[in-house]
C-alpha cells in the first residue's frame, strides 16, 4: 500500500498538481476553503473531509487531462456531481482533487424512436425530465434528491419507480469514463442489448468513482403512460401494509410505485410538507397504463388493501394532487431531519426478498420503538427495500453508539434474511464494514479488480473496499 | 504471455493433472476420443478442438478442486453446459480439461412469493420451466436451443422474450462461481436490487467462462400471464414488417415477442416444421396480459400492421396452435441448416437501435440477395437484433471467403449505425476480431480485468480477448 492511499497527498506533489491544473483550468480550479468544504461532504452524517482543490471540468478530455496530471503525482481524484449521496461517497478522506462535473450538464442527443438519450454527467434527473417534457418520454429513476445522472449511475441509484422500471443498472445503456490512467473508454453503443465481452457498463455503474469517472451516459427512457393513477392508503398496522404489498406484487399487479411510511414518517411529512394525513402506517401508490388499466389496477389494489385492514384507498388521476403527495414522499429525508433540527441523519438501506420483508420490518420497528433515537421508516417496499433515518448528533457518543448498534442489528438481520446491506445508497464509507460480511470472498475479487484498474489507488480512495 | 496461453498444455503437466483428476473423479473423468470430440465444438461452423480430458463435475466444491489441480499445472479449464453456443465458446483451442456441468442439474429452491429460484448450472431452461409448471411461474429467457442455464448466463443469452423480460443480464440475481484460483465466490443474495459494491454478477454474466465457472445461479422468475395471445402477420416487404415493428414498440405496446422471418426463413420453417405459411416476410407476435389487455394489444397491432401493408393478423389465445408456431420459430436455426444438408451455419448477430433497423436489414438483405450463399434472416426485431444464418462448407474456401465478406460488411454496418456485433451470442472465437473495432480502448480494460483475475490465462483461454 503506498502512501497516497493512506495519508493526504504529499504537499510537494500537490503544489505541482495545483500549478498544472491552474494552467489547464484557470479560474475553474478553486482552492478556497468554502468551495473545498462544500465538496468534502454529502447530505449524510459523515464528517467533512475537504479536498485540496476543486476542479470544475468542462469536457471528457479535460477530465482525462486532470486525471493524468493527478496520476503522474499519485494524487487522489474524487468525482462530484450534486453531493446528494448518503454514504460519504464524495468525502476526500485522503485529500486530493475533487472533479466537479456539474458544469458538464448538457443533454446531447435524444432519440425518441429508440427511447434513449445521451447526456453529460452533470445533468440532473429533474433537468432531464424537464428537457424531455414535449417528447412523450421520461426518465424513470428518481432517488428523491435531484441528483446528477453521473452520480446516480456511479452509486447505482434507484428510488420509488424501481419496482416497475428497474434501477440505474437497467437504465444505463453505456457510459464514457475516464480510467485511472487517464484513458477514455466508451463501454458500448446504443443497442438495447449486447453480448460483446465483459459488461464494462455494469462494472462502472455502482463503482462510486473508484474505477473510473463517468463523463457521459447513454440512458434508456420510457414512454409517459397514457394514464397515471395514484393515491394513499392508511393501515392499522405496518404488518397489514406489508402483507398488502406482498399480495400486490405476487398477484402480478404491475404497480409503478408502492412505498411505505410508518406513522413517525407520516407525522414528519405532515409537518414538513403541510399535509394532514392520518398518522398511521401508510402506503403511497402509483399505477401506470391506459385509462382502463389504471382503473382496474387501482380497484384491484383497493380490494387487496381491504383484506389487510387497510383504510379506504383514495386515488386520483389528477396530476396536481398526485404531485403534492409525491413531493411530500420525495422530501421524506428532509422532513425527517426537520423533526430534530441540528441533528444529522444516519440512513439504513437494507433490502430483502419480499417474503422476508414483513419480519425484517417488524423486528426493526421493535428495535426502533425501544430506542431513545427518533427514526422514521420509509421504503420502496415493492423491492423489499426500506430506510430508517436515525436522527443523531455525530458529536454525541451516546447517539452514535446507539445508532451503530441499531444499524448493525438491522444489517445482520437483513443478511440472515438473504438480503443486502444496501439496496440503493451504495457502500461509500458508511457500509464498508458490512460489505465483507455480506459478500465474503467476493470482496477479494473486488479488490483484485480495483488494484488492476487503479494500481496507484488514486480514484476515490478509501471507498467500497480498503486495499 | 506464457506458453499455456498459446500452445496445448505441456504433456508432462497434463499427465499429472489427469492422474490427480482420476483420483478425484474416478469414472467421471473421461479420456475417450468420442467424449473429447463431442466436447470440442458447439452447434456452429467452428472447427472441433477437443480437450485432453472431460471432467463431469458433481458439485461446486468439486469444480473448485478441479480448477485448483489445473491451476497448479497451468492447464486450461473450459466450462461446458449443453454445447449449444454459436461462437465456438466451448472449443478447447489450447487443449486442457473441459468441465462438463450437465450432471449438476438440480433445481435447488423455488421461492414463489419472491419470484426467484436457485439452480445448478446444468439445469436447462426447458427443465426449469417443466419444474415450475404448477407454481404459476416461468423463466422467460429462451434462446431457442434447450441450453443450460449456466451456459446461458455465461454467454448473456436472450431470445424471443427479451423485448418484454430482458436478457440473462436482467434475470440473474446472483451466481456462485469458481475463480481461476479455485476460490469460490457468491456474488450476492436474493434481494431484487443491491448497491453493494462492484457488480460481480454482471461481470460474470457474459464472461463466457473466462473469468470464472458458474456453479450455481439465483434466477428471477416471472408470473405466467393470465392470458397469452399470439399470431403471425405476413407483409409484402421486409421494410413494411420492420416499420410495423418500430411503430409497435414506439406506441408503447408491451409486446412480449415480436420476431421477423424473411421469406427464405419462412420457406425453411415450412419445410422443416411442416407448416404452410405464405412465403413472404412475416412477423411472429405474442402478447401477455389479462384477457382484456391481450385482445386490446392484438387489435392495436392489427391496425398498425394494416398501415404498413401487412396481411391480416391472425391471432389466437389457444395454446396448441401458438405452441406449434413458436416451436417452428425456435427451430429456425435447424430449419436453416436443413436447407442444405451437410453445410454448417455461420450466424451473424448484429443489434442496432431500432430507428436504424430498417436500413440495416434492407442493406443486409440486398447483400444476401446478391450472394451465392443461402442465408435466411430471422430476428428479435423488437430489440433491434437479427440473425442471418449463412450456410457454408467450412472446407470450401470460396464459401468461407464470401461468408466472411458478408459478415464483415454486416458488422461494420451495424457499428456505423451505433449497434453491436453481437446482441446475444457472445464473442467466443467468432467475433473476437470485431470486438476491438466495436469497443476500442474498452478491450484493454477487459484485458486488464482478465489478467488480474486469471493471471495464468487458464480459464477458457483464447476467447473474447487475446492476451
The pLDDT, as a whole number, for residue A303 is: 95
The pLDDT, as a whole number, for residue B10 is: 77
- Taking contacts as CB-CB distances below 8 angstroms, the residues of chain A near B419 are 189-191
Number of A–B residue contacts, CB under 8 Å: 278
User: Contact B198/A355, CB-based, under 8 Å?
Assistant: no
The pLDDT, as a whole number, for residue A5 is: 41
Q: How far apart are CA A142 and CA A7, in angstroms?
A: 36
Q: What burial letters (b/e) apply to B352-389, b meaning 16+ CB within 10 Å?
A: bbbbbbbebbeebbebbeeeebbbbbbbbbbbbbbbbb
Q: How far apart are CA B318 and CA B112, in angstroms?
A: 26
Tell me, which fold does domain A337-426 have in CATH? Alpha-Beta Plaits (3.30.70)
- Which CATH number describes the domain made up of A107-223? 3.30.465.10
Name the 3-class secondary structure at A44. coil
CB A90, CB A77: distance < 8 Å: no
Predicted confidence (pLDDT) at residue A7 exceeds the cutoff of 90:
no
Place of cell 487517464: A182
Over residues B244-271, the pLDDT tens digits come to: 999 998 888 889 999 999 999 999 999 9
User: Contact A183/B444, CB-based, under 8 Å?
Assistant: yes
The pLDDT, as a whole number, for residue B315 is: 86
- Integer distance in angstroms from the first to the last C-alpha of chain A? 7
The class of domain B3-102 in CATH terms is alpha beta
The pLDDT, as a whole number, for residue B3 is: 39
Q: How far is CA A296 from CA A164, A233, A254, A258, B224, in A?
A: 17, 17, 11, 16, 19
Q: How far apart are CA B6 and CA B58, in angstroms?
A: 30
User: Contact A113/B354, CB-based, under 8 Å?
Assistant: yes
The values of phi and psi at residue A239, to 5°, are: -55, -45
The pLDDT, as a whole number, for residue B415 is: 97
Over residues A228-238, the pLDDT tens digits come to: 999 999 999 99
Q: How far apart are CA B28 and CA B443, in angstroms?
A: 37
- Mean pLDDT score, B203-207: 98
The pLDDT-based confidence of B1 (bands split at 50, 70, 90) is very low
Cβ count near A390 (within 10 Å): 27
- Mean pLDDT score, A209-217: 98
The pLDDT, as a whole number, for residue A314 is: 85
Cell triple for B96: 486442457
The pLDDT, as a whole number, for residue A290 is: 86
Task: Name the minimum distance, in Å, from the CA of A350 to any CA of chain B.
Answer: 9
Do β-strands B97-100 and B53-56 pair in parallel, antiparallel, or remain unpaired? parallel
User: Contact A198/B446, CB-based, under 8 Å?
Assistant: yes
Phi-psi bin for B121: left (phi > 0), alpha (psi -120 to 50), beta? alpha
The pLDDT, as a whole number, for residue B252 is: 83
Helix (H) or strand (E) holding B239: helix B238-250
Phi-psi bin for A289: left (phi > 0), alpha (psi -120 to 50), beta? left
Predicted confidence (pLDDT) at residue A315 exceeds the cutoff of 90:
no
Tell me, which fold does domain A3-102+448-453 have in CATH? 3.30.43
- Mean pLDDT score, B4-17: 70
A260: nearest Cα among A308, A224, A196: A308
CB A52, CB A18: distance < 8 Å: yes
Predicted confidence (pLDDT) at residue A118 exceeds the cutoff of 60:
yes
The pLDDT-based confidence of B162 (bands split at 50, 70, 90) is very high
Q: Please state, rounded to an integer, the average pLDDT across all residues of chain B.
A: 95
User: Contact B199/A195, CB-based, under 8 Å?
Assistant: no
- Residue among B197, B223, B448 whose CB faces A252 most closely: B223
The pLDDT-based confidence of B174 (bands split at 50, 70, 90) is very high
Q: Give the nearest chain A residue to B211 (CA atoms).
A: A198
User: Contact A246/B113, CB-based, under 8 Å?
Assistant: yes
User: Contact A193/B383, CB-based, under 8 Å?
Assistant: yes
Q: How far apart are CA B23 and CA B29, in angstroms?
A: 9
Q: How far apart are CA B302 and CA A4, in angstroms?
A: 64
Do β-strands A97-100 and A53-56 pair in parallel, antiparallel, or remain unpaired? parallel
The pLDDT-based confidence of B290 (bands split at 50, 70, 90) is confident
The pLDDT, as a whole number, for residue A386 is: 97
Over residues B128-160, the pLDDT tens digits come to: 999 999 999 999 999 989 999 999 999 999 999
Strands (E), B31-152: 53-56, 77-80, 97-100, 107-111, 116-119, 137-138
Q: Give the nearest chain A residue to B111 (CA atoms).
A: A355
Q: How far apart are CA B85 and CA B87, in angstroms?
A: 6
Q: Give the nearest chain B residue to A454 (CA atoms).
A: B448
Name the β-bridge partners of A368. Answer: none
Over residues B69-96, the pLDDT tens digits come to: 999 999 999 999 999 999 999 999 999 9
Do A227-334 and A107-223 have the same topology in CATH? no
Tell me, which fold does domain B343-431 have in CATH? Alpha-Beta Plaits (3.30.70)
CB B175, CB B190: distance < 8 Å: no
Predicted confidence (pLDDT) at residue B2 exceeds the cutoff of 90:
no
CA–chain centroid gap for A25, Å, is 30
Cell triple for A310: 387497510
- Taking contacts as CB-CB distances below 8 angstroms, the residues of chain A near B113 are 246, 250, 353-355
Q: Give the nearest chain A residue to B252 (CA atoms).
A: A223
- Taking contacts as CB-CB distances below 8 angstroms, the residues of chain A near B86 are none
The pLDDT, as a whole number, for residue B251 is: 85
- Taking contacts as CB-CB distances below 8 angstroms, the residues of chain A near B169 are 193, 199, 202
User: Contact B353/A448, CB-based, under 8 Å?
Assistant: no
- Residue among B249, B452, B465 whose CB faces A451 most closely: B452
Over residues A396-425, the pLDDT tens digits come to: 999 999 999 999 999 999 999 999 999 999
Task: Name the minimum distance, in Å, from the CA of B277 to any CA of chain A.
Answer: 30
Q: Please state, rounded to an integer, the average pLDDT across all residues of chain A.
A: 95
The pLDDT, as a whole number, for residue A252 is: 83
Predicted confidence (pLDDT) at residue A223 exceeds the cutoff of 50:
yes
- Mean pLDDT score, B315-341: 91
Choosing among A140, A194, A224, A225, which should be mutated to test the B contact, i.e. which has the most B CBs within 10 A? A194
Name the 3-class secondary structure at B157. coil
CA angle (A286 as vertex; A284, A289 as ends), nearest 5: 170
Strands (E), A31-149: 53-56, 77-80, 97-100, 107-111, 116-119, 137-138
Helix (H) or strand (E) holding A51: none
- Mean pLDDT score, A39-63: 97
Cell triple for A154: 456511479
Q: How far apart are CA B345 and CA B144, in angstroms?
A: 15
Domain residue ranges of chain B, discontinuous segments joined by +: 3-102, 107-223, 227-334, 343-431
The pLDDT, as a whole number, for residue A1 is: 38
The values of phi and psi at residue A346, to 5°, are: -100, 115
Predicted confidence (pLDDT) at residue A8 exceeds the cutoff of 90:
no
- Mean pLDDT score, B283-295: 92
Length of chain B: 467
- Mean pLDDT score, A27-33: 97
The class of domain A227-334 in CATH terms is alpha beta
Burial class (CB within 10 angstroms; exposed 0-12, middle 13-18, buried 19+) of B219: buried
User: Contact A351/B199, CB-based, under 8 Å?
Assistant: no
Angle, helix B442-453 to helix B432-439, in steps of 10 degrees: 120
Task: Name the minimum distance, in Å, from the CA of B426 to any CA of chain A.
Answer: 5
User: Contact A446/B198, CB-based, under 8 Å?
Assistant: yes
The pLDDT, as a whole number, for residue A6 is: 41
The values of phi and psi at residue A62, to 5°, are: -65, -40
Predicted confidence (pLDDT) at residue B8 exceeds the cutoff of 80:
no
Amino acid at each position: 500500500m503506498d502512501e497516497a492511499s493512506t495519508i493526504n497527498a504529499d504537499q510537494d506533489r500537490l503544489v505541482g498538481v495545483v500549478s498544472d491544473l491552474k494552467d489547464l483550468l484557470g479560474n475553474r480550479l478553486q482552492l478556497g476553503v468554502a468551495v473545498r468544504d462544500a465538496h468534502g461532504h454529502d447530505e449524510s452524517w459523515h464528517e467533512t473531509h475537504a479536498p485540496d482543490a476543486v476542479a470544475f471540468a468542462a469536457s471528457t478530455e479535460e477530465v482525462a487531462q486532470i486525471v493524468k496530471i493527478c496520476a503522474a503525482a499519485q494524487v487522489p481524484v474524487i468525482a462530484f456531481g450534486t453531493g446528494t449521496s448518503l454514504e460519504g461517497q464524495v468525502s476526500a478522506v485522503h485529500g486530493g482533487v475533487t472533479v466537479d462535473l456539474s458544469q458538464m450538464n448538457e443533454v446531447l442527443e435524444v432519440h425518441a424512436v429508440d427511447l434513449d438519450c445521451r447526456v453529460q454527467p452533470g445533468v440532473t434527473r429533474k433537468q432531464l425530465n424537464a428537457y424531455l417534457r414535449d417528447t412523450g418520454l421520461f426518465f424513470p429513476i428518481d432517488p428523491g434528491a435531484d441528483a446528477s445522472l453521473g452520480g446516480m449511475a456511479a452509486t447505482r441509484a434507484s428510488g420509488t419507480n424501481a419496482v416497475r422500471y428497474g434501477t440505474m443498472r437497467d437504465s444505463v445503456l453505456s457510459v464514457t469514463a475516464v480510467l485511472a490512467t487517464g484513458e477514455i473508454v466508451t463501454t458500448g453503443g446504443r443497442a438495447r442489448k449486447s453480448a460483446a465481452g465483459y459488461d464494462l457498463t455494469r462494472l462502472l455503474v455502482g463503482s462510486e468513482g473508484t474505477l473510473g469517472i463517468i463523463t457521459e451516459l447513454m440512458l434508456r427512457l420510457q414512454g409517459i403512460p397514457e394514464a397515471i393513477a395514484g393515491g394513499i392508503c392508511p393501515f392499522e398496522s405496518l404488518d397489514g401494509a406489508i402483507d398488502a404489498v406482498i399480495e400486490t406484487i405476487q398477484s402480478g399487479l404491475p404497480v409503478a410505485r408502492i412505498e411505505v411510511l410508518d406513522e413517525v414518517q407520516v407525522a414528519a411529512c405532515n409537518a414538513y410538507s403541510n399535509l394532514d394525513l392520518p398518522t398511521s402506517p401508510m402506503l403511497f401508490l402509483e399505477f401506470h397504463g391506459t385509462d382502463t388499466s389504471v382503473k382496474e389496477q387501482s380497484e384491484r389494489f383497493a380490494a387487496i388493501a381491504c383484506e389487510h385492514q387497510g383504510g379506504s384507498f383514495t386515488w386520483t388521476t389528477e396530476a396536481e394532487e398526485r404531485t403534492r403527495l409525491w413531493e411530500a414522499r420525495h422530501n421524506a429525508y428532509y422532513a425527517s431531519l426537520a423533526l430534530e433540527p441540528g441533528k444529522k441523519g444516519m440512513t439504513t438501506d437494507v433490502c430483502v426478498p419480499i417474503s422476508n420483508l414483513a419480519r425484517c420490518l417488524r423486528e426493526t420497528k421493535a428495535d426502533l420503538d425501544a430506542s431513545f433515537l427518533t427514526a422514521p421508516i420509509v421504503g420502496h417496499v415493492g423491492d423489499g427495500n426500506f430506510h430508517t433515518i436515525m436522527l443523531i448528533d455525530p458529536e454525541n457518543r451516546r447517539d452514535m453508539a446507539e445508532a451503530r448498534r441499531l444499524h448493525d442489528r438491522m444489517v445482520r438481520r437483513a443478511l440472515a434474511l438473504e438480503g443486502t446491506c444496501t439496496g440503493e445508497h451504495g457502500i461509500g464509507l458508511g457500509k464498508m464494514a458490512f460489505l465483507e460480511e455480506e459478500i465474503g470472498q467476493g470482496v477479494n475479487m473486488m479488490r483484485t479488480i480495483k488494484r488492476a484498474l487503479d494500481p496507484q489507488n488514486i480514484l476515490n480512495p478509501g471507498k467500497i473496499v480498503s486495499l
